[in-house]
Amino acid sequence: MAFESLTNRLQNVFGKLRGKGKLSEDDVNEAMREVRLALLEADVNFKVVKDFVAKVKEQAVGVEVQKSFTPGMVVVDIVHKELIELMGGSATKIAKASKPPTVILMAGLQGAGKTTTTAKLAMMLMKGNHKPLLIAGDIYRPAAIKQLQVLGEQIKAPVFTLGNDVSPVEIARQGLQFAKANSHDYVIVDTAGRLQIDEALMEELKQIHEVVQPDEVLLVVDAMTGQEAVNVAKSFHEQLELTGVVLTKMDGDTRGGAALSVKAVTGCPIKFVSMGEKIEPLESFHPERMASRILG
């Protein structure tokens, strides 16, 4: 289960604190040392951990002075509040262009779950009575177009393709025209995945970006890859100005590092989470719910 080890460790720390009628500075220091280790072990970025613990500690020391009847609980509340803050505060909504269609550009490394997420996103939009068009822009991976078409059929969303021989920039341009002519209010552009950050493909993404002028640029990253996912997000954000990150494979036993580091390291919020291989509507990312889940 996701965050299992982190949750167990934090519950342990707070279990000890909760029972105390009074907190000494030593109690707070000891608890913060354990929180720090738990976060590092969950693969949270070390700088993020350092800042987080410093913030909590600053407030927790105040609790000791306040002489609260339940100081341990107050410290847990502080951690809860700071975890929410760390993950971006409140949930964010998908963009909506003032003049439709709203264009969403999807990016990500191969295997991260980009195609699956594209279909899930379309489903989410359809559930909200929107009429999305999927544009098949990955002409490099054999069967990528077919995969999108199969998913499109499954969820009953049309897929625009010009095959493998037309450049993705041209496909995106014509796809957008098609969407306008057929009153689609959302366009989701699927792009080629990469094995790693690749200059040529990044350049292509920039050109597609230029042509479709997206309202939303979503990077799909695999939560199971922890700090690697965060580094990927950082590199993409530097080159493409992402508007959001989608964390996939949150149904797996990810330790939590990506969920807890992406926003702080990149400045870019996590907007959605994907929780399985089955195609169902994508879920919004709620920092508050995630923080509660982490605390168990």
Interface pick for ligand GDP out of 36, 57, 114, 271 (rule CB under 6 A) = 114
CA distance 62 to 78: 11
Q: 173 a known binding residue? A: no
Using alpha carbons, list the distances in angstroms from residue 145 to 55, 111, 137, 151, 190: 48, 15, 8, 10, 9
Binding of residue 116 to ligand GDP (CB under 6 A): yes
User: Any binding-site annotation on 33?
Assistant: no
Interaction between residue 191 and ligand GDP (CB under 6 A): no
Which residue of the chain is nearest ligand GDP when measured via CB? 113
274 sits near ligand GDP (criterion: CB under 6 A): yes
The separation between CA 250 and the C-alpha centre of its own chain, rounded to angstroms, equals 10
Four-CA torsion 202, 222, 263, 28, nearest 10 degrees: -150
In three-state secondary structure terms, 32 is: helix
Pick the piece of the chain touching ligand GDP (CB under 6 A) from 54-62, 85-93, 232-240, 243-251: 243-251
Sheet containing 216-222: order of strands: 159-160, 132-136, 186-190, 102-108, 216-222, 244-248, 270-273, 283-284
Nearer to ligand GDP, 13 or 124 (CB): 124
d(CA 127, CA 38): 39
**Is 92 a residue that touches ligand GDP (CB under 6 A)?**
no
Q: Tell me the closest approach of the beta carbon of residue 116 to ligand GDP, in angstroms.
A: 3
Nearer to ligand GDP, 147 or 243 (CB): 147
225 binds ligand GDP (CB under 6 A): no
Q: Does 196 interact with ligand GDP (rule: CB under 6 A)?
A: no
- Cβ closer to ligand GDP: 89 or 252? 252
Under the rule (CB under 6 A), what is the footprint of ligand GDP? 108, 110-116, 193, 248-249, 251-252, 274-277
